[in-house]
Amino acid sequence: MKTKQQRYEALVHAFHADIYRYAVWLVKDTSVAEDIVQETFLRAWKSLDALQDEQAAKSWLITILKRENARRFERKQLPLVEIDEALLLDDIEPVQVSMQQRDIQRLLAGLSTEYREPLVLQLIFGFSGEEIAQQLNLNKNTVMTRLFRARNQIREALDNQASFRGSKNG
């Protein structure tokens, strides 16, 4: 029989990386992301007995993380503006990222939350359309449409950039 401490540590090891990445893409600020991840795991300790299976734990952590993020706005009464993307990107990947990788990150960060959130859930956690729908309390068709538009926007922007750079170089 594992102690509560051991189960907590197992939970942290299993999920902290993906939860942190999700937080960064949600708030677009690494230090704020760390804060809300810490708050989320503190809450997880209290509900540890309820977090038995993996899928439930993942979905629970995401829900709490979103709540903590919303609370942050209430607490500080910050205006709900998106942080400047350039600022974020220097923060996330300071060096050694290919130009295209940086472009993709910038475009991802530039997506509106309603498109970025389902896409990030799919990319990080490998959630299915149904799981995303459940997590975000949306209808599955809405989710599929948003996923389509999210990828479409990024791809079109990349194509435009390529042809712009191409024309400049050529």
Partner 1 sequence: MDELEFRRRIYADPHTTDEAVIAAAEADTNKQAFWNEIKAFNAKLEKAVDIDVPDDLVHRLIWQQGVRQYKHEKRKKRRLFAFAASIALVAGISFTLWDQWLYADLQKQLLTHVSHATEEISYSTKPAGLGKVNAKLASFGGHFEQEIGEVEVANYCYLGAVKALHLILSTAQGSLSVFILPENERRAVAEQFSDGNFKGSLLTMDNRNVVVIGATNADLSSLESKIKQSLKFTV
Residues engaged in binding partner 1 (CB under 8 A): 5, 8-9, 12-13, 16-17, 20-21, 24-25, 34, 37-38, 41-42, 45, 92-93, 100-101, 104-105, 108, 119-120, 122-124, 128-129, 144-145, 147-148, 151-152, 154-155
> Nearer to partner 1 by C-beta: 67 or 151?
151
Q: What is the 3-state secondary structure (H, E, C) of 136-158?
A: HCCCHHHHHHHHHHHHHHHHHHH
> Nearer to partner 1 by C-beta: 67 or 77?
67
> Nearer to partner 1 by C-beta: 79 or 94?
94
The count of other CB atoms within 10 Å of the CB of residue 157 is 16
- State the minimum distance, in angstroms, from the CB of residue 114 to partner 1: 15
- State the minimum distance, in angstroms, from the CB of residue 37 to partner 1: 7
3-state secondary structure of 33: helix
- State the minimum distance, in angstroms, from the CB of residue 150 to partner 1: 8
Alpha helices, H only, the chain:
4-27, 30-46, 54-76, 85-92, 99-110, 113-125, 129-136, 140-169
- State the minimum distance, in angstroms, from the CB of residue 128 to partner 1: 8
> Nearer to partner 1 by C-beta: 66 or 79?
66
> Nearer to partner 1 by C-beta: 69 or 132?
132
The DSSP line for 41-61 is HHHHHHTGGG--SHHHHHHHH
The count of other CB atoms within 10 Å of the CB of residue 45 is 14
- State the minimum distance, in angstroms, from the CB of residue 119 to partner 1: 8
**Cα–Cα distance, 65 to 36 (Å, whole number):** 6
